[in-house]
Structure 1
Amino acid sequence: MRVKAMYGIVAHGEVIGHSELENGDPPMGVAFGRFFPAAGFDAFVRTVPPDEAEGDEVLIWNALSATSPEGVVIDCAGVAVFRYALGDEVDLEVTVLGISSPPYGKLFPNRVDASGDRATQDRSNWTSLAAPGPSAYSPHRRSTETGMTTEAGRTPKQKMIAGELYHPDDAELGADLRACQIWLARYNAMLGRPADERRVLLREIFAGVGDGAVVRPPFHCDYGFNISIGANVFLNFNCVILDCTTVTIGDRTQIGPGVQILTADHPREAEAREAGLEFARPIAIGRNVWIGGGALILPGVTVGDHAIIGAGAVVTRDVAPGATVVGNPARPVPAKA
């Protein structure tokens, strides 16, 4: 019987748990899996500041590191433990992110093909993982394989970005979401730091960030890698971008507090929604646009250059260049004579 390798999760020099890190996404440098707490875990949880808890899901990432089965510290960008309340049970998962390419291949050689950059996964124990500990692993969280190709030969992630119907319960997408959540925790803790320091962090995850761009924390997004913002773009506090597919924002566009830019959409057919399918439509916002606080930009909308969107507007259709729109649904304001 093969003994599976266990990776250590360490806090303040003490091992607080172990994981096989049985799943992963090599292109993202992410490894994750079921977390088995050690004796010191409960004591560590009590040290986590209350402001790092979000409802039933608690993100525990401060001061964590991971070690290889041989006890060597893994060079990575961060480690997080997620705790989910599932009825009367608790599901624990650990994510290690930002592992660079050569070390990743040495740690998880079965996940990297000859080219060194394709995601594969050990899936043998998703639904029958037998291991000690009080937690019950939740197979439904891993019901779709990382990088699983569909009948059309496209992964759920590829279908999502392309605007096709896809199933979001996919391990590759789950890894990307968790990586973004950890990045958001870092970014939103930088409110008091200079804008140029925050810009460096934006460039870690966004597809493109122009010079002078400012995104004021707190900020929220799904993945980050589908977002491109131009030079001198300004996003005020509490903006939300659901970037299941591409979101582009042109140079010098100003976006007020609480604006939501939402590419995520759902099928109109009840059967497709019942099956858990979703899709996304890209949003493109031109240059020198002004979007007032609390506005909603819905899936598939294109906003032309120099347009103005009034505070609280719900934009359901394209906005012409130079137009001003207000209301719910947003309608053009007649030009003054």
Structure 2
Amino acid sequence: MTEQEKMLKGMLYQAGEKKLSSMRKRASELTYDYNHLRPSQKEEQQAILNQLLGSMGKDVWINQPFLVDYGCNLYIGDHFFANYNFTVLDIGKVTIGNRVMIGPNVGIMTAGHPLDKVIRAELYEFGYDITIKDDVWIGANVVINPGVTIGSGVVIGSGSVVTNDLEDDTLCYGNPCRVIRKITEKDRIFWQKEKEKSLSNS
């Protein structure tokens, strides 16, 4: 089994292996190019993302700067927006659904290191997949830790550290991040009224 195969299976692996080092170098070069384009160079930005990412849907926008370990293990759906300083350590697979919004300074971290100092000093690492389902909004300065699944319709408050799965249609925040309450029909009615108020003042 190759080190890349071990990495993608969530096993301990050696990140310094030649092929993985080459893959990270390629991602670094592409993200450097992406981050140094002018904001008006939208076509060039999209072309780089198509080269870099495992896959992406339509209407994907990532503000500069954007940092990623491999890129090829990041899969993004339709109508995606990430604000400044979006960082993804995609040692494991990161799957993001449709209509996901991500605030500034958010980190998605599939990577981990052994607690044992001897094994850690031998430069072993591991990665656990992260899944973010449809219609999620992640506030500024959130950190998502390895192995987490975020359910559809979840809203995560700024500064949260997500260490466990979050169930569908919930408002969550804190360190560690926890479910505060369900998002309900009452919320929909409130925001529909706010929308109508805004439209009436257009």
Q: What TM-score do the two structures reach when normalised by structure 1?
A: 0.53
The answer for the alignment partner of 2:195 in structure 1 is none
The answer for the alignment partner of 1:173 in structure 2 is 20
Q: How does 1:143-154 map to 2 (within 5 A)?
A: 154=1
Structure with more of its chain in helix, by fraction: 2
Q: Residues 322, 185 of structure 1: CA spacing in aligned structure 2 closer, same or farther, 3 A cutoff?
A: same
Q: Residues 237, 191 of structure 1: CA spacing in aligned structure 2 closer, same or farther, 3 A cutoff?
A: farther
Q: How does 1:288-307 map to 2 (within 5 A)?
A: 288-307=135-154
Q: 1:94-139: CA deviations, max 9, x gaps? A: xxxxxxxxxxxxxxxxxxxxxxxxxxxxxxxxxxxxxxxxxxxxxx
Given that 1:191 and 1:218 are in contact with CA atoms closer than 8 Å, whether structure 2 keeps it comes out as: no
Task: Give every structure 1 segment of 4 or more consecutive aligned residues whose post-TM-superposition deviation is greater than 6 Å.
Answer: none
Q: Which has the larger radius of gyration?
A: 1
Distance 1:167 1:185 in 2: 25
Q: Identity percentage over the alignment?
A: 35
Distance 2:176 2:70 in 1: 28
The answer for the alignment partner of 1:85 in structure 2 is none
1:206 to 53, 66, 71: 53
SS in 2 for 1:325: strand
| 1:303 Cα deviation after fit | 0.3
The answer for the alignment partner of 1:313 in structure 2 is 160
Q: What TM-score do the two structures reach when normalised by structure 2?
A: 0.87
2:109 to 234, 241, 262: 262
- Of structures 1 and 2, the one scoring higher in RCO (CA 8 A, sep 6+) is 2
Distance 1:253 1:277 in 2: 33
Q: How does 1:116-135 map to 2 (within 5 A)?
A: none
Q: Residues 243, 280 of structure 1: CA spacing in aligned structure 2 closer, same or farther, 3 A cutoff?
A: same
Q: Residues 225, 306 of structure 1: CA spacing in aligned structure 2 closer, same or farther, 3 A cutoff?
A: same
Instruction: Tell whether 2:85 aligns with 1:238.
Output: yes
Instruction: Tell whether 2:105 aligns with 1:280.
Output: no
Distance 1:193 1:160 in 2: 37
Distance 1:292 1:197 in 2: 28
Counterpart residue type for residue 167 of structure 1: Q
- Alpha carbon RMSD of aligned pairs, Å? 1.5
Unaligned stretches of 5+ residues in structure 1? 1-153
| 1:194 Cα deviation after fit | 4.4
Given that 1:195 and 1:214 are in contact with CA atoms closer than 8 Å, whether structure 2 keeps it comes out as: no
1:253 to 100, 109, 112: 100
1:189 to 31, 36, 49: 36
Counterpart residue type for residue 262 of structure 1: M
Distance 1:258 1:323 in 2: 22
Distance 1:277 1:164 in 2: 10
The answer for the alignment partner of 1:216 in structure 2 is 63
Counterpart residue type for residue 170 of structure 1: E
Q: Residues 191, 287 of structure 1: CA spacing in aligned structure 2 closer, same or farther, 3 A cutoff?
A: farther
Distance 1:226 1:307 in 2: 23
Counterpart residue type for residue 275 of structure 1: E
